[in-house]
Each structure stands twice: as C-alpha cells, then as structure tokens.
C-alpha cells in the first residue's frame, strides 16, 4: 500500500487542525470578545499619549518661572571660584598662556598685537581677581549659566512638543483644569470611534510633571552647574480624550486599526474552519492507522535510522512546525503592513507548505515508531541499535580501565608492526595487498590518533607552564573523554581555584583597607566634634544658652561614638563566635509588628509610604528574640535611611514551605554598585559619600545573626530597586 489521495487528505486535515488550534492558543486572548481599543498595543499608545499630553500641553515647562526660581549656593560659588586652582595658581596660569604669544609679537615687531594680547591677559587676570573678591560677581556668572541651560532645555521641550503633535495628531482632547478652569481643546469635535472621559464621578486626568534640567553631567569651563530639578504640583483635569472617526485613515493609527480588524476576521475564519475540520476528522474523513502505515522508500530509509535519531527527527519537526505557525500568526496579525498582496500570499503559502511537510513527518514518524515498538522483542532490538546505546557501549569498551600510557603503547605497537609489514611486503609481493589494506584501515588511523594525543599532551604541558608562571586567563580546552581530557579538566579546576583564591585575596586586602579607613573616619568624626565643643565650653564668657547648646551637641556625639563602638564590638564578637543564643519559640508576626511600629512615624516624616504584608495567624520560629528583633530593626532602619523620598517601602512576612521569609523592598536614594555581596561587609554602605549617620555595620550584624540561626540573607539589586530577603526555619 502506498500514499494515496485519502491519506494526503487526512494529513492536510490534521495539519489544518494543528494550525488552527495553535493559532487559537496564541491569539484567542487578543481577539475573542475584544476590539482594537482593548488591545495592549492601543493601551500603550493611549498611555504614552496621555503622558506626553500632560508634559507638553497641559502642564508644559515654564521657562520664565524656572529662571525666577534659580538659586545659587555658597558651595557653587566656591566651586566655580576654585575650579582652576587658587588665585595665585590661576593668575600664573594666565600669564604663562600669554607669555609666549606676547614674546612672539614683540620679536616680530607687531606692537599692536602685543598691546591687544597684554590687554586681553590683564582683563582675564582682573576677572579672576574679582572672582575671589566678590561673591556677587561669581553668582551672576553662575546664574547666567543656569539661565542658558534653562533656555536650551525650553527649546528642546518645544521641539519635542511639535514632534508629539505630529505623532499623535489622530487623538483629540477637550480638558478643563479643575482648579483654574483653564480649557484645553484640540478643536476636533467630529464623530468619535473612541472616547475616554475623566471627572464627573470618574477618575480625573492627573498630571504631575518633573523636569530635570542639566548639562551632560561633566563640569567644564563653560558649564559648572550640572543639574536643576523642577517638580510641579499635581494638577487634575476633567473632560475627555477621543479619536475622531475621520482619523481612521491616519498613517499609524489607521494601519494598526485596520490590521487588527482584518486579522480578527482572518483568525475567526481559520478557527471556524478548524472546528469544521475537527468534526470532519471524527466523522466523514476519519483517518485510520492503515492510511499512514504504507510501504515506501521513505519508510525503509526512516526505519534504518536508529530509534533515538528517529525520535529527534520527529521532535525537531514538531518544534519547526510550531515556529512556522508562530511566524504565520505574526504574518496574519500584520497583514495590512504588507505593501504587496502577492508577496504576502506567497509567503503564507510557502510557510503552510513547510508546515504541511513538518506535520506529515511528525504523523508518519509517530505511526512508524509505534509500529517498531509494538512488542517487547522489537523494543529490545531497537534499543540495542540505538545510536546513544552503541556510542555508550563503544566508549565503555574502548576507554574503560585504560590509561593514556597503555593506549599510547598500543598505538605505537600498531605503528611498529606496520613498519615490519612494509618490510615484509617488499620481500614478498603477495603480502603487499594485505599490507596496503591494513595500513590504510589500521596503521594510518592509529598514527593519526597517536599524533593527535601527543599534540594534545604538548598543548596541556604548554598551558600548564603558563599557569605555573601566573597566566591564568585561558582555560585548557577539554577534548573528548580520554584520561588526558580528564587531566585537562582537573587542571582547569585547579586554575579556577587559584584564580578565585587570588581574587578573594585581593578583595580581602581591599576590604581590609576600606575597613581601616572607614573605622578611622567614623570614629574620628564624632571624636573631633567632642574635642572641639569641649574646648568651646572652656570659654568662661559663654552664655547659658550657648553652653546648653554645646552640651547637647556633646551628648549627641558621645551617643553616636558609643553606638559605633558597641556595634563594632558586637560584630567582632559574632565574627569570633564568642556569643550565645537564647532561643525561644517566638511569634515572628508580632515581632515584625513591634519592629516596624517603632519607626512608623519616622517613615511618615521621611515622606515614605510604608506597605506591610503579614500573616493573619501567628508564625512561630525558634530564635533568640532579642537578636532577631535586632535583625528586623536593622533592616527597617536601613530602608528608612536609604529609601528615595516619596517612594514606597514594602515589608512582607510570609511562610514558604518550612521557612519564614521576611522581605524589605525599596527604591534606593543613592546609586548602588554592582558588588551587592559587599554590602554585608563591615562599614560597607550603599551611601558611598557617607551622608547618613549609620555605622555601616547594620547589614553585617544582620548577616551574622541570621547565619547563627541557620538562616539565609540575600540581597538583590535591579537598577535602583534594593531588596533584602531573610529566611529562617519555622518551628
């Protein structure tokens, strides 16, 4: 029996069912019961329009207001004044710049040029002197620089506004400022095909723009101020945004709208015919096993291939078929983007033909494999003929319990016998034919194997020498499964271990240096203040108010110094293991509530929105309550100090399996580095500038306490998102 028309029809119907079913899985959620205005593409377009409408139309950047709000700090004045050095250094630099040019003008006899250069030099020197004598002179320069930045930014905003109107010209808007009554209307009131209203018992259209005005971020001779920030107040609007029906032919919008509509019709048609095809396969066109179990050269070739290779062919065909369907799904979804309908039809037909071939291979392959595995005897026979089985069996027979020395000896013996055979064939012509056959099928392969092994050994020896001399960058290439390959892999492990050891040693030395520097800095700062204010208190002419103020400063700095020293001793005790735990059955939910509750007011004062999630029932664990409270308190305080103002801080306590998990997530106030593992090192901070009052030991103490409880502390950083997760076994 051969492949006939009925078999081809069955394969076509099966292909169509698979095609329509996969398309349904991939696209049903996008098209069934929805229109273009409910699609994710339009939703993103609409939100982008609203955001840009608020920035460029409803609440644009106010250049005049920005200039009026310019401030110049003493720090900026000092920075501008001393940017090129001290007064004497700057004057000397100007004189040096002009000395050669004045000398050349003098030597050439050009008195006028010499006079101009001297006047230019003297003017610059006078300007520098005025910089160091008059703050207002410097302030005026900085103010002008900031005004130039604002003017440049305002021009860029106007250009962006024009681009926005060009890109979203198919949208209309009619909005009124709730507070001022100011009206914004695009002027297009035609019949709409989409409209979204705001206000009147619906959410308002809210705008709260933030403008960052800055240079390229680098200080230079022209721009010494690199940033200004303008955060506008929240403004609410009522009204509507819409799309007029006349805009159906707008370039971008019309194409997307038409593409969605046409694609929806095509998908519905394919799914409807798919349902009819399924009905046909179970009724009038019901296929049978015999339809596909025909004899052909293709089947004979397929059955000669090992069973595991056959399975790979079938799976690869199935994956290829899925990729083709996914590709055709994209073709259908973007049907109107094709400028040439003929090319579109050709692409679809070509993909469908490939899909038909792939599905045919899968169906026939499954049927024929099933036939081969119809009984235990056939299964055993196919298994023994499998490629992987023969490969594993061959490797085991060839390399098992054989060292590289024995293999090399065998190859050398074969090569030696080949030489003897060559000499014998020269003496007896009848042996020549036998020798040639043995030479090409045994001698030369053995020689090639020997040379490759010796070459590989030389490569290993060379790279081992490089490793001994400290060049650890390039690993030894591992070839095959031979003893030499095992040796190369072991050398790679050794190289990696040495490299890691050197890296850890360098890291340890760096952290040790940072530790000494930071400890000295953090202890010296309050100590210096204590000494300074103590000297001030010795003045007998101090008023009572000043004396009390100095005593208050001494009290704070003493407490700060005490906290630093206590934290340092605590970390040292934990590191040495000289600390005991008093474990009890503690309700972690209540402990978390207490730790967070002590700082809720501080979070409100810091303009941070604290979001807490905890179990409704107690969650118990065997921990040292006092020390575990210290862990939670350190994490809460850490979030309080280093969270960006106006953001949310999430604290969550949940049970996952046999562990309790406490998570703190916040947006960092300062830029975080890449080595997040080092944040748990002593005196390591995310605030590298050390603007905060923390000891730098909070996470180190938390890490030590968690380790003593057989828990885990994990830090994740994604951009400015900082996340700390601690887990401990529940009781």
**What is the per-residue DSSP string for 121-144?**
HHHHHHHHHHHHH-HHHHHHHHHH
Note the pLDDT of residue 653.
92
User: Which two tokens mark 60?
Assistant: 């644009």
Higher pLDDT, 64 or 678: 64
Burial 210-235 (b: 16+ CB within 10 A, else e): ebebebeeeeeeebbbeebebebeeb
Give the integer Cα–Cα distance in Å for 406 and 400.
12
Note the pLDDT of residue 304.
80
Q: Report CA-CA distances (Å) from 455 to 408, 429, 486, 607, 629.
A: 12, 36, 16, 69, 63
Give the integer Cα–Cα distance in Å for 720 and 671.
7
Give the integer Cα–Cα distance in Å for 17 and 13.
6
CB 481 within 8 A of CB 399: yes
In the chain, the percentage of residues whose pLDDT exceeds 90 is 20
Note the pLDDT of residue 641.
86
At residue 155, does pLDDT exceed 90?
yes
The residue-averaged pLDDT of 339-344 equals: 76
Higher pLDDT, 173 or 546: 173
The residue-averaged pLDDT of 307-320 equals: 89
The residue-averaged pLDDT of 519-528 equals: 69
Give the integer Cα–Cα distance in Å for 394 and 480.
14
Tell me which residue of 57, 243, 246, 63 sits closest to 163, measured CA to CA.
57
CB 636 within 8 A of CB 596: yes
Note the pLDDT of residue 688.
46
pTM above 0.75, yes or no: no
**Angle between the N-to-C axes of helices 698-708 and 625-642, in degrees from 0 to 180, rounded to the nearest 10:** 150
Q: Provide the 3-class DSSP secondary structure of residue 288.
A: coil
Give the integer Cα–Cα distance in Å for 404 and 398.
12
Give the integer Cα–Cα distance in Å for 621 and 158.
60
Note the pLDDT of residue 682.
39
Given the DSSP bridges, would you call strands 648-656 and 609-613 parallel, antiparallel or unpaired?
Answer: parallel
At residue 679, does pLDDT exceed 80?
no
The residue-averaged pLDDT of 581-601 equals: 87
Note the pLDDT of residue 638.
86
Higher pLDDT, 631 or 699: 631
Note the pLDDT of residue 187.
77
Residue range 488-511, pLDDT digits in tens: 666 666 666 666 766 666 665 665
Alpha-carbon Rg for the chain in angstroms: 40
Q: How many helices and strands, by DSSP H and E, does the chain display?
A: 23, 14
Higher pLDDT, 1 or 240: 240
Most confident of 97-111, 332-346, 544-558: 97-111
**What's the angle, vertex CA 226, arms to CA 225 and CA 227, rounded to 5?**
105
- Average pLDDT in the chain: 79
Note the pLDDT of residue 429.
59
Note the pLDDT of residue 647.
92
- The lowest-confidence range among 90-104, 430-444, 697-711 is 430-444
- CA atoms lying within 13 Å on the CB side of residue 629: 15
Residue showing tokens 């021009």: 155
List Cβ neighbours of 139 (8 Å cut-off, separation of 6 or more).
72, 77
Note the pLDDT of residue 316.
92
Most confident of 111-125, 281-295, 416-430, 662-676: 111-125
Note the pLDDT of residue 219.
43
Note the pLDDT of residue 207.
92
Note the pLDDT of residue 724.
92
Note the pLDDT of residue 400.
43
User: Which ranges constitute the DSSP H helices of 168-238?
Assistant: none
At residue 248, does pLDDT exceed 60?
yes
At residue 649, does pLDDT exceed 90?
yes
Q: Provide the 3-class DSSP secondary structure of residue 198.
A: strand
**Cα dihedral 7, 13, 16, 21 sign:** negative
Q: How confident is the model at residue 268 (pLDDT cuts 50, 70, 90)?
A: very high
Q: How confident is the model at residue 83 (pLDDT cuts 50, 70, 90)?
A: confident
At residue 481, does pLDDT exceed 50?
yes
CB 239 within 8 A of CB 199: yes
In the chain, the percentage of residues whose pLDDT exceeds 70 is 72
Note the pLDDT of residue 665.
93
The residue-averaged pLDDT of 5-33 equals: 88
Residue range 96-144, pLDDT digits in tens: 999 988 889 888 888 898 899 999 999 999 988 998 998 999 989 888 9
Most confident of 322-331, 496-505, 684-693: 322-331
Give the integer Cα–Cα distance in Å for 501 and 481.
28
- The lowest-confidence range among 221-235, 357-371, 418-432, 608-622 is 418-432
Note the pLDDT of residue 273.
93
The residue-averaged pLDDT of 534-561 equals: 80
Q: How confident is the model at residue 545 (pLDDT cuts 50, 70, 90)?
A: confident
């Amino acid at each position: 029996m051969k492949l006939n028309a009925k078999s081809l029809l069955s394969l076509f119907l099966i292909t169509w069912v698979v095609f329509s079913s996969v398309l349904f899985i991939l696209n049903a959620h996008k098209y069934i019961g929805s229109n273009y205005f409910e699609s994710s593409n339009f939703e993103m377009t609409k939100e982008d329009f609203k955001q840009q409408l608020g920035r460029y139309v409803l609440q644009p950047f106010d250049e005049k207001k920005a200039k009026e709000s310019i401030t110049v700090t003493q720090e900026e004045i000092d920075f501008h004044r001393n940017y090129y050095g001290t007064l004497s250094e700057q004057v000397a630099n100007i004189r040096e710049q002009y000395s050669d040019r004045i000398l050349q003008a003098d030597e050439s006899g050009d008195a006028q040029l010499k006079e101009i250069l001297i006047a230019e030099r003297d003017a610059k020197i006078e300007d520098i002197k005025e910089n160091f004598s008059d703050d207002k002179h410097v302030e005026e320069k900085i103010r002008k620089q900031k005004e130039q930045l604002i003017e440049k930014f305002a021009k860029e905003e106007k250009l962006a506004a024009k681009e926005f109107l060009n890109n979203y010209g198919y949208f209309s808007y009619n909005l009124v400022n709730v507070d001022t009554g100011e009206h914004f209307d695009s002027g297009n009131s035609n019949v709409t095909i989409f409209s979204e209203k705001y206000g009147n018992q619906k959410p308002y259209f809210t705008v709260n723009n933030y403008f960052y005005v800055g240079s390229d971020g680098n200080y230079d001779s022209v721009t010494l101020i690199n940033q200004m920030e303008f955060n506008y107040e929240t403004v609410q609007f009522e009204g509507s945004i819409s799309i007029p029906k006349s805009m159906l032919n707008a370039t971008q919008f019309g194409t997307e709208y038409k593409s969605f509509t046409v694609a929806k019709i095509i998908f519905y048609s394919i799914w409807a015919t798919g349902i009819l095809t399924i009905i046909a396969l179970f009724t009038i066109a019901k296929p049978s096993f015999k339809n596909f179990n025909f004899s052909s050269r293709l089947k004979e070739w397929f059955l000669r291939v090992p069973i595991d290779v056959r399975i790979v062919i079938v799976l690869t065909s199935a994956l290829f078929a899925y990729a083709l369907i996914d590709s055709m799904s994209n073709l259908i979804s973007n049907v109107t983007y094709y400028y040439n309908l003929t090319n579109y039809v050709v692409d679809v037909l070509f993909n469908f033909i490939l899909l038909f071939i792939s599905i045919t291979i899968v169906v026939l392959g499954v049927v024929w494999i099933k036939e081969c595995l119809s009984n235990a005897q056939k299964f055993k026979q196919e298994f023994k003929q499998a490629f992987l089985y023969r490969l594993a069996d061959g490797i085991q027979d060839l390399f098992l319990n054989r060292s590289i020395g024995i293999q090399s000896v065998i190859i050398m013996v074969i090569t030696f016998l080949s030489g003897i055979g060559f000499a014998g064939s020269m003496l007896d012509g009848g042996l020549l034919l036998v020798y040639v056959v043995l030479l090409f099928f045994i001698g030369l392969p053995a020689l090639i194997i020997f040379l490759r092994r010796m070459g590989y050994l030389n490569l290993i020896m060379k790279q081992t020498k490089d490793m001994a001399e400290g060049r650890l960058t390039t690993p030894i290439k591992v070839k095959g499964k031979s003893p030499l390959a095992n040796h190369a892999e072991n050398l790679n492990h050794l190289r990696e271990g040495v490299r890691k050891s050197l890296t850890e040693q360098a890291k340890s030395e760096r952290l040790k240096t940072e530790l000494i520097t930071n400890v000295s800095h953090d202890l010296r700062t309050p100590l210096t203040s204590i000494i300074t204010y103590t000297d001030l208190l010795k003045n007998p002419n101090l008023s009572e108010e000043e004396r009390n103020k100095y005593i208050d400063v001494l009290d704070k700095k003493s407490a700060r110094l005490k906290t630093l020293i206590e934290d340092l001793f605590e970390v040292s005790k934990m590191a040495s293991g000289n600390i005991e735990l008093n474990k009890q059955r503690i309700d972690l939910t209540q402990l978390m509530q207490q730790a967070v509750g002590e700082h809720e007011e501080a979070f409100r004062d810091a303009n941070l929105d604290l979001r807490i999630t905890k179990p409704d029932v107690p969650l118990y664990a065997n921990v040292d309550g006092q020390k575990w409270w210290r862990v939670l308190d350190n994490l809460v305080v850490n979030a309080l100090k280093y969270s960006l103002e106006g953001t949310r801080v999430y604290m969550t306590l949940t049970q996952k399996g046999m562990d309790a998990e406490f998570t703190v997530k916040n947006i960092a106030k300062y830029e975080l580095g890449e080595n997040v593992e080092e944040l748990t090192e002593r005196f390591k901070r995310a605030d590298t500038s050390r603007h905060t009052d923390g000891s730098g030991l909070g996470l180190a103490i938390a890490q030590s306490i968690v380790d003593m409880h057989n828990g885990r502390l994990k830090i994740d950083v994604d951009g400015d998102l900082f996340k700390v997760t601690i887990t401990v076994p529940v009781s």
